[in-house]
Structure 1
Amino acid sequence: MTPASAGKQPERWLLTSDGHEHLVEIAEVGLRRRLTWSVDGTEAATKTTSDEKVVLDGGEHGAVGVRLPTFTGPARRVTWYPPGAQAVAVAQTGLGGTDFDPEPGSKAAVREAWIREHPNLHAARRTGAAVLGVVLPILGIWLLSRIDIPWPSIPWPDWDLPSIPWPDISIPLPDWDLPELPAWLRELLDKAKYVVPVLVALAVARAEVRRRRAQDERKQRPTDLPPEHRPQP
């Protein structure tokens, strides 16, 4: 571990399923992160990476999918997929599975609690970030066009290069007379590149909120409790 991260405690995510204790620890290693997944105290998989989407293959223990932030901050989600032939493939899609819970009192736990308490505000923030992602590049290009940069004048040599006799290739392409798109459709397609990212961000944020609610309900079912804690018929 690098000196910068030597004194920093790893981020911990916990899950109890079918009587087994799962633990995922995420530690910063320079500009990368080391993820370690253990089951009942025994290491099942580990990986050091700088990717945002990580899948840990635990073999007979299944797979774990981890969603990490782009820069800094706690993991966005840690999900366990039960053992099976397609566990790793399903983990890569990010669909289904059972979410881990962040360690109580951690930054990840505070973030999760805030999202559950303010689902609409969370969706609004995600949408606002998408709007900024669209507006800021446009604003930056506009500002650059307004700035007169005094570029230096470089005395490049005036080379008289020979002309290359390129062959004149004529390909008889078909001349299709396609109908012209209506003006309203052309305008809609022109605006779509700005609107679509915002709509996608809103849909993703809403889906995250619904997923958290479904996960909370799923963890309350008796079948998801350890065998010794399940109610007897």
Structure 2
Amino acid sequence: MGTKTPFRYTLDHDGRRLEVEFSSAGLASTARLLVAGEQVAEQTTRGDSATLRAEGIKVEVRWGWLGQVTRCELRSSGIAFDPPPGSRAARLLELAEARPTLYASRHVVLAVGRIVLPLLGLGVLFRFVAPALPLPSIPVPEVDLPSIPWPDLDLPSIPWPGWVRAIIESSKYWGPVLFGLLIAADEVRKRRRKAAARAGSASSDAGDNTTSTTNSTTNSNSGNSADNER
């Protein structure tokens, strides 16, 4: 792996501009935390995660196995940073925010794929490939194993209804799909909760800016009135 051009994730929080700059060289990945343009923390790792701490801020960062950023968020509130505009991560974020259910359904699609693709692959293998392979005949020796007198236990049999047995026997097919549905539903809830927290943070910052502007205007008007009285 070579050196990648640095890029930044950004977040406006509590009246401050927070940025996390990412870069990599070889197998090492580096994350730097900047507050109002000033670097306050840095961590370089060969692993898949890092935590940046400074000025009461704690940012959790994770990388995927290809080196892409998979998480960049405040540890306290779970509010995610915005990826660079125009990047693949930004496009995925737009899809996740516009259609959270559709975006989360990828877990179900992957679960179905894990079931269907192996079945199709084995079907093609046994139908077309296996008959054409000249498999050798291997002589297997006959071994006369001793007979072990296992105790004859009379275990009670549970008269399960037929539909229960059918559900249990088919669980290897519907189990992964159900698990994918649960993961998708949980992701939708988390995204909606984070979106609400992010909206609350943005409105708080807007309110602080409005209050500051109002106070500045009031102070300016008071000063002008005092000058006029003189």
The residue type equivalent to 2:33 in the other structure is S
Percent identical among aligned pairs is 23
Q: Which moves more between the two structures, 113-122 or 128-137?
A: 113-122
The residue type equivalent to 1:55 in the other structure is S
Post-superposition Cα deviations, 1:154-175, rounded to whole Å, max 9, x if no partner, equal: 888x99xxx9x99x98786965
Aligned to 1:153: 136
Q: 110, 113, 129: which one pairs with 2:94? A: 113
The residue type equivalent to 1:140 in the other structure is G
SS where residue 58 of structure 1 aligns? Answer: strand
Q: 2 CA distance for matches of 1:12 and 1:44?
A: 13
Deviation at 1:184?
Answer: 1.2
Structure 1 residues 117 and 220, CA, compared in 2 at 3 Å: closer, same or farther?
Answer: closer
Deviation at 1:218?
Answer: 1.1
Structure 1 residues 20 and 141, CA, compared in 2 at 3 Å: closer, same or farther?
Answer: same
Q: How does 1:178-189 map to 2 (within 5 A)?
A: 178-189=157-168
SS where residue 117 of structure 2 aligns? Answer: helix
Q: 50, 60, 63: which one pairs with 1:56? A: 50
Post-superposition Cα deviations, 1:174-216, rounded to whole Å, max 9, x if no partner, equal: 6532424322111101222211222222332333333223222
SS where residue 181 of structure 2 aligns? Answer: helix
Deviation at 1:20?
Answer: 6.3
Task: With the length of structure 2 as denominator, give the TM-score of the two structures.
Answer: 0.66
Aligned to 1:14: 10
Q: 2 CA distance for matches of 1:180 and 1:67?
A: 51
CA RMSD of aligned residues (A): 4.0
Conservation of the 8 A alpha-carbon contact between 1:218 and 1:224: no
Q: 1 CA distance for matches of 2:178 and 2:78?
A: 26
Structure 1 residues 10 and 177, CA, compared in 2 at 3 Å: closer, same or farther?
Answer: farther
Q: How does 1:138-177 map to 2 (within 5 A)?
A: 138-146=119-127, 147=129, 148-153=131-136, 175-177=154-156
Post-superposition Cα deviations, 1:120-141, rounded to whole Å, max 9, x if no partner, equal: 4324444223211210011112
Q: 2 CA distance for matches of 1:151 and 1:80?
A: 60
Conservation of the 8 A alpha-carbon contact between 1:126 and 1:202: yes
Q: 2 CA distance for matches of 1:186 and 1:197?
A: 18
Aligned to 2:112: 131
Query: 4+ runs of 1 displaced by more than 3 Å?
Result: 16-20, 26-29, 57-63, 74-77, 123-126, 151-156, 168-176, 222-233
Conservation of the 8 A alpha-carbon contact between 1:79 and 1:99: yes
SS where residue 179 of structure 1 aligns? Answer: coil
Q: 2 CA distance for matches of 1:173 and 1:26?
A: 67
Structure 1 residues 193 and 228, CA, compared in 2 at 3 Å: closer, same or farther?
Answer: same
Conservation of the 8 A alpha-carbon contact between 1:16 and 1:226: no
Q: Unmatched 5+ residue regions in structure 1?
A: 83-95
Structure 1 residues 211 and 64, CA, compared in 2 at 3 Å: closer, same or farther?
Answer: same
Deviation at 1:106?
Answer: 1.7
The residue type equivalent to 1:191 in the other structure is S
SS where residue 99 of structure 1 aligns? Answer: coil
Task: With the length of structure 1 as denominator, give the TM-score of the two structures.
Answer: 0.65
- Total equivalences in the alignment: 204
Q: 74, 78, 100: which one pairs with 1:97? A: 78
Deviation at 1:113?
Answer: 0.5
Q: Unmatched 5+ residue regions in structure 2?
A: 216-230
